[in-house]
Structure 1
């Protein structure tokens, strides 16, 4: 998926989550999505250390 395609999925709507960027058609904020992705990477790194 290209950067442009990803950016097309991000919308700003003052009526949804106080105008924070969200994934189109959801109430998932971009910041939460990035945070969960970071946690997932850390989890896999920790899991592979043992």
Structure 2
């Protein structure tokens, strides 16, 4: 799971590179599946341990 508000220990997760290009896009929380998966995480503390 990716939350752009939490950096990976070695790099920022605020943007991601589109495969096959040099384009960088803003990262979307839960990899763009938030509408379908955010309920799975509603009772979990939204902290660094949840996002990697």
Give TM-score, length-normalised by structure 1. Answer: 0.24
TM-score by length of 2: 0.24
Query: RCO (CA 8 Å, sep 6+): is it higher in 1 or 2?
Result: 2
Q: Which has the larger radius of gyration?
A: 1
Structure having the higher helix fraction is 1
